[in-house]
Amino acid sequence: MKYRRSEKSTDLEAKNQQNGNVNIKGKRVALEAKVEQRDTDVKGKRIALETEINQRDEAIKGKLTALDAENQKLRDEVIKFEEQYNKYRELTTLHCKFPNIKIPENVKSVIKKCKLDKILDAESSESCLSLVDSLSNQVTELEAENTMLKKEKAEWMSYSDYLDQEKDNFNGNIPNEFYKVLVDRRIENNILQEEMINIKKQMINKELIVSENENKVNKLRIERVQVIEYLLRRYKKELEQAQSNHKVNPNMIKILKCIEELQKLIYGLEDQNYKLLKKTMSLHVNKPKNTKSDEIFLKTINELQNENGSLQKNEAILKDTIFTVKNENSQKIKHLQNTTRNNHMENNDGVIANVIPTQSFMNLEYENKQLIEKY
Report the CATH number at residue 80: 1.10.287
Residues 144 and 286 in one domain: no
Are 153 and 265 members of one domain? no
Shared-domain flag, residues 365 and 263: yes
Amino acid at 127: S
Instruction: Kindly state whether residue 200 falls inside one of the protein's structural domains.
Output: no
**Within this chain, do residues 238 and 151 fall inside the same structural domain, yes or no?**
no
How many CB atoms lie under 10 A from the CB of residue 331?
10
**Last residue of a domain, which of 103, 138, 169?**
169
Write down the pLDDT at residue 290. 46
175 falls within a domain: no
Domain identity same for 158 and 251: no
CA atoms of 134 and 328, how far apart (whole Å) = 93
Cα–Cα separations (whole angstroms), residue 46 to 153, 164, 168: 10, 11, 19
In 210-270, the DSSP E strands lie at none
Looking at residue 103, the DSSP 8-state letter turns out to be: P
Question: Is there a single domain that holds both residue 160 and residue 50?
Answer: yes
- At 105 the pLDDT is 60
Q: What pLDDT, on a 0 to 100 scale, did the predictor assign at position 355?
A: 41
Residues 6+ apart with CB under 8 A from 56: 149
Residue 189 lies in a domain: no
161 in any annotated domain: yes
Distance CA(374)–CA(264), nearest Å, equals 16
pLDDT for res 314: 67
Is there a domain that residue 230 lies in?
A: yes
> Distance between CA atoms of 358 and 364, rounded to whole angstroms?
10
Q: In 122-222, which ranges are E strands?
A: none
CA nearest 239: which of 263, 231, 318, 344?
A: 231
Residues contacting residue 270 through CB under 8 Å, at least 6 positions apart: 315
Coil, strand, or helix at residue 290?
Answer: coil
Together in a domain, 155 and 281: no
**What string of DSSP letters covers 13-50?**
HHHHHHHHHHHHHHHHHHHHHHHHHHHHHHHHHHHHHH
The DSSP-derived string for 179-193 is HHHHHHHHHHHHHHH
Which residues have a Cβ under 8 Å from the Cβ of 152 and sit 6 or more positions away? Answer: 53
pLDDT at 356: 45
Cα–Cα distance between 298 and 102 in angstroms, integer?
103
Counting the structural domains of the chain, the total is 2
Q: Which domain holds residue 347?
A: 225-374
pLDDT at position 319: 67
Is 251 inside any structural domain?
yes
Residue 178 CA to residue 253 CA, distance in Å, equals 91
Structural domain contains residue 216: no
Q: Which of 144, 169, 194 is the last residue of a domain?
A: 169
Is residue 162 located within the same domain as residue 231? Answer: no
Quick one: pLDDT at residue 288? Answer: 46
d(CA 228, CA 223): 9
Total-model pTM: 0.24
- Provide DSSP, 49-77: HHHHHHHHHHHHHHHHHHHHHHHHHHHHH
| 246 belongs to a structural domain | yes
Burial of 5 (0-12, 13-18, 19+ CB in 10 A): exposed
On whether both 150 and 235 belong to a single domain, the answer is: no
The residue from 126, 153, 169 where one domain ends is 169
Three-class DSSP category at 354: coil
Helix axes 174-245, 358-374, angle to 10 degrees: 140
- Whether 138 and 65 map to the same domain: the answer is yes
Distance, CA of 256 to CA of 329 (rounded, Å)? 9
- Check whether residue 162 and residue 278 sit in a common domain: no
Statement to judge: residues 62 and 136 lie in one domain: yes
Low-confidence ranges of the chain (pLDDT < 50): 1-3, 172, 248, 287-291, 344-357, 375
pLDDT digits (tens, 9 = 90+) for 12-68: 666 656 665 666 667 667 777 776 777 777 777 778 777 877 787 788 778 778 877
